[in-house]
Structure 1
Amino acid sequence: MASPAPKATLVPGPIIVGGGPSGLAAAACLAAVGIPATVLEKSDDVAPLWRNWTYDRLTLHLPKQFCELPLMGFPASYPKYPTKDQFISYLKSYAAAFGITPRFGCSVERADFDAAEGLWRVRTPGEEFIGKWLVVATGENAEPLVPEFPGISKFSGELMHSSEYKSGEVFEGKKVLVVGCGNSGMEICLDLCRHNARPSMVVRNNVHVLPREMMGCSTFGIAMALRKWLPLKLVDSILLFMAQMKLGNTEPLGLRRPKAGPIELKDLTGKTPVIDVGALSLIKSGMIKVTEGVREMTREGAKFVDGKEEEFDSIILATGYKSCVPLWLKGGGGGHFTEEGLPKAPFPKGWKGKNGLYAVGFTRRGILGTSFDARNIARDIKLQWHVARS
């Protein structure tokens, strides 16, 4: 017997897929201009990535003024760099302030554009939502990225992705290999050291390491200010000179800098420079060991590209995340998205597709990029709203 057709629900405003910061920002900007949105979130609360996939000691790497969602700042009582729990509390307050009530437990199975009706059909288990506009707000970091390392299935110790890591407490006294030298990899190594573990960090690619602050000011804030007045390459030169003065030459530590400057590289590839919050001093002291890339994993540990082999109790894959868009948005949203689930058009044009399709949170520019997208989406839909309602 064929399964029954899902309940069909026609919604008046946009359908937003994703209840994280990007989805909330889009819904708030729409609410501010009087447009209701239906937010679909597969988990049981807002910001599931922040609640479930981040480690306990996490704080924002940038000052709070650069991490605010549109139309509402952080409480004045929050510190300069809010904690994970404070950021989650802010998001919940943000949703309440704008009357955003996501439909939780709504895992989107597929979304298609019905050309005959000029409407989007978004299917979840047991219900299909139908609307004129679809906002893809699942973001760049929706699913853990686990590369296929040779021999990974042989390793007999504990193997996890960084999304599962909470605290170094359970690793006390253990040798731990952390694969990845981004912000997560660096901070996990730092946390492991503070719990008397012995971490080694795999550096597979060149990486920029910048201090969190320079001369008492946020490095990111300095970069943003300089970009208003100076060419990008000159800004990068200034940042690298100041980083050299404060951190020293990182190349002898196994942390070779890319040829492109940190801001240029971020703009071109989305690769974020590492903001040092203490790991670099532990690398210098030898408490965090830097190793070259992994050639293959073994039953007891790993073999490296330099020919060395070492045993480890645990391996943590700080290998980042990927988009989940290809899993549910059919046809790439009319070709708006790549096979990797990112908008084909580079920033600042990736927020708008065809047939009422929008994307928020795919700019590779953090919350500032999310805010840019959300405001543009609300303005664009507002122009169509009264026509659609007449």
Structure 2
Amino acid sequence: MDAPHSVAIIGSGFGGIGMAIRLRRAGIHDLVILEKAADLGGTWRDNTYPGAACDVPSHLYSFSFEPGAGWSRRFSPQPEILDYLRGCARRHGLLPHLRFGTEVTEARFDEDAGLWRISTSRGEFAARVLVSACGQLNRPALPDIAGRDSFTGTSFHSARWDHSFDPAGRRVAVIGTGASAIQFVPELARTAARLHVFQRSAPYVIAKSDRVYRPGTRALFAAVPGLRELGRAAVYTSLESRAPAFVRHPGLMKVIARRFHDHLADQVTDPALRAALIPDYPMGCKRILISDDYYPALARPGVELVTDPIERITPTGVVTADGTPREVDTIVYGTGFRAAEFLAPMKIVGRDGRELSESWRDGARAHLGIAVSGFPNLFLLYGPYTNLGHNSIIYMLESQFRYVLRCVQAIERHRFAWIDVRPDVQAAFEAEMRRRMRDTIWARGCTSWYMNAAGEVTNNWPGSTLGYRRATRRPDPRHFEVRRLP
């Protein structure tokens, strides 16, 4: 076992890498990053499907302290984002702190020693502070469809793309029409002999307006940092202006909805297909998607949009509720992630032997989406109540970095064995979230991955990103129970 560390971080995506950078820049070098995979990158390591790219402009989907000047286009593709994260880790000296192939199975808090005892696939670790940077979109969800395991062809989830699969001349079924599917469906449609896209509910898709950055523009970004900062600010302001429509005044969503209807009318001329692509729920209630080539892909010869519910999967294909069988060679599941199962399947044990899974039996809860009562010195990044529908999650993460860093500094400065958010403080925060959530577009009757099993929206922040930054500006000492080291 390593000697106890000041901080152990689980995960090496944007959250884990950014948190480690902020800790090192503050002079906290005794840290370890535990990563179950063989490389860093989180979701940008795992999602390598054709067409994978960011849906937030890259000058905003990057750290403010590491803006990056080499993006090839406005919405960067997956390989560039992964290279960016690797470069961040290298430039900020994180490589010696990374432990690859180290999957955390259990973390148990030792109240007497004020340490987290961490069991992993590669041995034991201990740390004063434990930071979970596992994110929300890391465990693929497969649909509960009768006969799914009976299929004898090739099948895989989009987040576990089989790169030995060649769609040329193949009959392919895509189940799901979410954020990943609208990126890889156009790629499959170009070469597959037959493509069936099974749609449970139509997504709202607006124009992406992507563009390539010419060499001169990229050189200008590199030479004039102020230009990058100005562009970042402009993108942030444009996206943040949509916040009221999501969190306070859903009626304003009609303005954004016009962009959807115009985009659909421009790209789909077939009235029947266009009607099938109009959602039956309010815009924004589920994630709004962006694409310039998804709708044209559905209109290609050899592509079929299927809106009848799936009844079962057979060894050779998919049968819908109307009894129609569709014989296919391959099934690709674009069915999202188990987003509400934060920290699963790890076993986390806090004070008095309390298990986090038991505390979260009715859904994940955390003060500010960061601290969980009964689990001292445990901090979550991209936890409950911190997802967005309108802006870059990197901005939210940077707010959390600052909050967690100041907690760590307080623990070290004041020689605290541990700090634990008070249960009444967490309960008050949860009550405020439930009250504010009632006014949001997400509470308008649709189901989405923003919800837990009980139908509560617990993934999203019901406010502006500026409001979250103010709320996390600094930890309030009155919110915590503390115990000092002897």
Interval of TM-score (by shorter of Structure 1 and Structure 2): 0.7 to 0.9
Unaligned runs of 5+ in 2: 211-230, 417-484
Alpha-carbon distance in 2 for matches of 1:321, 1:277: 24
Could you tell me whether the CA contact under 8 Å between 1:18 and 1:138 is conserved in 2? yes
Q: Is the counterpart of residue 329 in structure 1 residue 325 in structure 2?
A: no
Q: Is the counterpart of residue 150 in structure 1 residue 146 in structure 2?
A: yes
CA distance 1:192–1:374, shift in 2 (3 Å): same
Superposed, 1:300-379 pairs within 5 Å as 300-322=316-338, 323=341, 325-331=343-349, 343-345=364-366, 349-353=368-372, 354-362=375-383, 363-365=386-388, 366-379=393-406
SS in 1 for 2:19: helix
Equivalent of residue 35 in structure 1, options 18, 28, 42: 28
| Larger RCO, structures 1/2 (Cα 8 Å, 6+ apart) | 1
1:191 alignment counterpart: 187
Superposed, 1:12-161 pairs within 5 Å as 13-36=6-29, 37-76=31-70, 78-101=72-95, 102-161=98-157
Alpha-carbon distance in 2 for matches of 1:238, 1:331: 47
Superposed, 1:228-243 pairs within 5 Å as 231-243=248-260
1:296 alignment counterpart: 312
Q: 1:204-223 deviations in whole A, cap 9, x for unaligned?
A: 13422222149xx9999744
Could you tell me whether the CA contact under 8 Å between 1:143 and 1:324 is conserved in 2? no
Q: Is the counterpart of residue 282 in structure 1 residue 304 in structure 2?
A: no
SS in 1 for 2:409: helix
CA RMSD, 1 decimal: 3.2
Alpha-carbon distance in 1 for matches of 2:290, 2:40: 27
| Cα drift, residue 342 of structure 1 | 7.3
- The amino acid that maps onto 1:192 is L
Q: Is the counterpart of residue 247 in structure 1 residue 264 in structure 2?
A: yes
CA distance 1:222–1:245, shift in 2 (3 Å): farther
| Bigger Cα displacement from structure 2, 377-386 vs 83-92 | 377-386
Alpha-carbon distance in 2 for matches of 1:379, 1:133: 12
SS in 1 for 2:45: helix
Count of matched residue positions in the alignment of Structure 1 and Structure 2: 373
- The amino acid that maps onto 1:23 is G
| Bigger Cα displacement from structure 2, 90-99 vs 300-309 | 300-309
Unaligned runs of 5+ in 1: 1-6, 266-270
The two structures have a TM-score, normalised by structure 1, of: 0.84
Alpha-carbon distance in 1 for matches of 2:33, 2:184: 33
Could you tell me whether the CA contact under 8 Å between 2:101 and 2:122 is conserved in 1? no
Alpha-carbon distance in 2 for matches of 1:356, 1:288: 52
CA distance 1:219–1:246, shift in 2 (3 Å): farther
CA distance 1:229–1:380, shift in 2 (3 Å): farther
The two structures have a TM-score, normalised by structure 2, of: 0.69
| Bigger Cα displacement from structure 2, 321-330 vs 111-120 | 321-330
* Aligned sequence identity (%): 21
